[in-house]
């Protein structure tokens, strides 16, 4: 098999990239030292997280000059995400750290006054503004496809600015900002999006680069510009009473079968995690989330069955994978202390793109307020986001409604609700819970999301225990309240029972993504049906 050299300089998640490269028929040779770069024919530089961290790592490890030489020698070079940003002169994110300077422009942060930042999801890489046909057919970038982006900083696109220096450019549009999605010139190609996470369209781009096909003519109808509505399939995974790992699904977090009279039967078994993830990928899920809701007691952390599930899933599923459950500092079965960052690292190395933190985030946020809103740098959120970037840290929230007769009846932040409580109460606050909803805290969801945003979380997975498994639609009051309190993206979760509920949540709230579980697992609807429904309602989706 032909090979490509890959430089993993920041311990990022490169497993999915390796899997994608292998999927399109190439093998990976690792660049382990600057001298290896000289031996490379094709070179790929990925990169996640902070611009400054990535560029400082490249520079201190002595890679900058060998990379420059590789490019100057006319050998194929591809940069992905921060690998694209590295080509620029610098970034507002870390003004004191220089980039390679091939492009004399500076990356800027997206404006978050009227949209969520980071920019997470599927957007265009549109080459239509070019008037020459080679630039238009750049590496097979498809006008009718969307690609997966995750970043807070981007190069603003100004027509002609890069083109005058010979660059061909593909762009995306986020709100009213047009940004550089991909650039190419001679032997250099770079994408701000992740081709390895962009499904079949992304794999085709990677293959075009590896095959040296700089121009692949495609004739298809362009999709409208902009970010699509993200639809996520979620798999709650646990061991059943026979010790098998199964996808399960609760009603308000109770995952045991009910016989109509009593509860407490067998753990519901809805299928095998790896097979189901693949099925949802093939149906068009924009992301797949695994929540490990078993503690796997007595199992060494390194043998956690979820690691194997991720490894196997990432071989066939080329969209982002999130893993949650048990991400906290812990003590291993042999008594060794193991940090949340170490656990996250194992997950990233096994193919996860993001980790989702539940209980530990609540406890850390409570401490943050006790310290007078001072960050201490040691929490799971802070350590993982500073190593892997904010976009890699999701906080999964499990709130429960507490009804009150008036806002004065509680010290917590309340909402006026259209679904009054059992005694006609017109207000409620959303209580944070930990341990899978088993323990309520004297802490509300707004306190939590504001704290974790300050600590470096990149996204909120907003469940709602009252709605979970009810098939009655999402809790719009909760979603709107949380969206108004923070800038980071919010994934609406809990209550989806049919495609219409996805349409409603996107029309009636500003949720950035919506997640479903039971309706997919029970085979009532496919992800594709949800997307078709959204498209019929005039909402932009990736099909």
x/- string (CB under 6 A) for ligand 1PR, residues 279-308? ------------x-x---------------
When binding is defined by CB under 6 A, the residue of 360, 453, 459, 477 that contacts ligand 1PR is: 360
Closest CA to 385 of 359, 360, 365, 356: 356
What is residue 441's three-state secondary structure?
Answer: strand
Peptide bond into 164 cis (omega under 30): no
Please indicate if the annotation marks 299 as binding a ligand.
Answer: no
Cβ-count burial 451-469 (b if 16+ within 10 Å, e if not): bbbbbbbbbbbbbbbbbbb
Q: Does the footprint of ligand 1PR cover residue 227 (CB under 6 A)?
A: no
Based on the residue annotation, tell me whether 81 is a catalytic residue of this protein.
yes
The CA distance from 71 to 67, in Å, is: 6
Closest CA to 411 of 440, 386, 375, 447: 447
Residues 366-425 touching ligand 1PR, rule: CB under 6 A, are: 396, 398
Residues 419-458 touching ligand 1PR, rule: CB under 6 A, are: 436
Please indicate if the annotation marks 96 as binding a ligand.
Answer: no
User: Do residues 288 and 356 make contact, with C-beta atoms less than 8 angstroms apart?
Assistant: no
Segment near ligand 1PR (CB under 6 A); pick from 168-176, 318-326, 423-431, 530-538: 318-326
User: Do residues 105 and 215 make contact, with C-beta atoms less than 8 angstroms apart?
Assistant: no
Segment near ligand 1PR (CB under 6 A); pick from 179-187, 210-218, 303-311, 516-524: 516-524
Q: Does the footprint of ligand 1PR cover residue 466 (CB under 6 A)?
A: no
Residues 7-26 touching ligand 1PR, rule: CB under 6 A, are: none
User: Do residues 50 and 88 make contact, with C-beta atoms less than 8 angstroms apart?
Assistant: no
The CA distance from 300 to 67, in Å, is: 40
x/- string (CB under 6 A) for ligand 1PR, residues 244-283? -----xx--x-x----------------------------
The CA distance from 416 to 187, in Å, is: 59
Q: Does the footprint of ligand 1PR cover residue 321 (CB under 6 A)?
A: no
Q: Does the footprint of ligand 1PR cover residue 495 (CB under 6 A)?
A: yes
| Phi, then psi, of 188 in degrees rounded to 5 | -105, 135
In the complex, the smallest distance separating the C-beta of residue 396 from ligand 1PR, rounded to whole angstroms, is: 3
Closest CA to 145 of 231, 232, 224: 224
Provide, for the chain, the percentages of residues in helix, strand and coil under a 3-state DSSP scheme, each rounded to the nearest 5. 30, 25, 45
Check residue 206 and give left, alpha or beta (phi > 0: left; psi -120 to 50: alpha). Answer: alpha
Closest CA to 471 of 494, 504, 503: 494
Nearer to ligand 1PR, 205 or 395 (CB): 395
Based on the residue annotation, tell me whether 432 is a catalytic residue of this protein.
no
Please indicate if the annotation marks 463 as binding a ligand.
Answer: yes
Query: Residue of minimal CB distance from ligand 1PR?
Result: 436
x/- string (CB under 6 A) for ligand 1PR, residues 59-88? ------------------------------
Based on the residue annotation, tell me whether 211 is a catalytic residue of this protein.
no
Nearer to ligand 1PR, 17 or 255 (CB): 255
The CA distance from 5 to 28, in Å, is: 6
Question: One of 8, 178, 196, 366 is an active-site residue; which one?
Answer: 196
- Residues 6+ away with beta carbon under 8 Å from 80: 17, 44, 45, 46, 47, 190, 191, 194, 195, 196
In the complex, the smallest distance separating the C-beta of residue 274 from ligand 1PR, rounded to whole angstroms, is: 17
Alpha helix ranges (H) inside 284-322: 305-316
When binding is defined by CB under 6 A, the residue of 204, 227, 357, 527 that contacts ligand 1PR is: 357
Q: Does the footprint of ligand 1PR cover residue 469 (CB under 6 A)?
A: yes
Q: Residue positions in the annotated binding site for substrate?
A: 326, 463
Q: Using CB under 6 A as the criterion, which residues of the chain lie in contact with ligand 1PR when the complex forms?
A: 234, 236, 249-250, 253, 255, 291, 293, 324-327, 356-360, 396, 398, 436, 463, 468-469, 493-496, 516-518
Task: Just list the catalytic residues.
Answer: 81, 194, 196, 236, 398
């Amino acid at each position: 098999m032909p090979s490509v050299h890959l430089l993993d300089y920041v311990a990022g998640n490169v497993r999915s990239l390796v899997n994608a490269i292998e999927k399109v028929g190439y093998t990976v040779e690792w660049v382990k030292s600057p001298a290896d770069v000289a031996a490379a024919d094709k070179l790929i530089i990925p990169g996640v997280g902070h611009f400054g961290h990535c560029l400082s790592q490249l520079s201190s490890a002595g890679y900058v000059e060998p990379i420059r030489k590789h490019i100057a020698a006319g050998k194929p070079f591809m940069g992905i995400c921060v690998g694209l940003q590295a080509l620029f002169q610098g970034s507002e994110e870390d003004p004191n750290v220089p980039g390679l300077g091939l492009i004399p422009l500076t990356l800027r942060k997206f404006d978050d006054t009227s949209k969520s930042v980071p920019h997470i999801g599927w957007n265009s890489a549109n080459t239509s503004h070019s008037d020459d046909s080679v630039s238009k057919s750049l590496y097979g970038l498809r006008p009718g496809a969307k690609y997966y982006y995750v970043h807070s900083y981007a190069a603003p696109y100004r027509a002609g600015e890069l083109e005058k220096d010979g660059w061909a450019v593909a762009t995306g549009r986020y709100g009213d900002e047009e940004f550089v999605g991909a650039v190419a010139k001679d032997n250099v190609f770079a994408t701000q999006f992740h081709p390895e996470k962009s499904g079949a369209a992304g794999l085709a781009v990677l293959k075009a680069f590896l095959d040296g096909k700089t121009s692949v003519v495609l004739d298809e109808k362009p999709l409208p510009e902009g970010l699509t509505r993200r639809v996520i399939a979620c798999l709650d995974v646990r061991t059943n009473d026979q010790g098998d790992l199964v996808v399960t699904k609760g009603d308000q977090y109770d995952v045991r079968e009910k016989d109509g009279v009593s509860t407490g039967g067998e753990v519901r078994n809805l299928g095998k995690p790896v097979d189901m993830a693949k099925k949802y990928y093939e149906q068009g899920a924009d992301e797949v989330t695994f929540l490990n809701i078993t503690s796997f007691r007595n199992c060494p952390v390194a043998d956690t069955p979820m690691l194997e599930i991720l490894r196997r899933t990432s071989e066939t599923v080329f969209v982002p994978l999130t893993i949650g459950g048990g991400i906290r500092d812990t003590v291993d079965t042999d008594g060794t202390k193991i940090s949340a960052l170490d656990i996250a690292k194992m997950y990233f190395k096994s193919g996860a793109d993001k980790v989702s933190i539940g209980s530990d985030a609540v406890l850390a946020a409570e401490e943050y307020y006790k310290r007078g809103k001072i960050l201490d740098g040691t929490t799971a959120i802070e350590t993982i986001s500073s190593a892997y970037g904010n976009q890699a840290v999701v906080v999964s929230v499990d709130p429960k409604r507490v009804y009150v007769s008036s806002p004065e009846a509680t010290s917590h932040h309340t909402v006026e609700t259209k679904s009054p409580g059992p005694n006609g109460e017109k207000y409620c606050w959303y209580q944070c819970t930990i341990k899978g909803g088993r323990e309520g805290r004297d802490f509300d969801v707004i306190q939590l999301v504001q704290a974790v945003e300050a600590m470096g979380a990149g996204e909120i997975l907003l469940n709602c225990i009252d709605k979970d498994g009810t098939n009655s639609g999402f809790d719009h009051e909760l979603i709107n309240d949380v969206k108004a309190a923070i800038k980071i993206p919010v994934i609406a979760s809990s209550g989806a029972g049919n495609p219409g509920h996805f349409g409603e949540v996107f029309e009636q709230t500003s949720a950035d993504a919506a997640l479903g579980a039971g309706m997919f697992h029970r085979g009532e609807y496919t992800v594709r049906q949800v997307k078709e429904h959204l498209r019929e309602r005039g909402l932009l989706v990736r099909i």
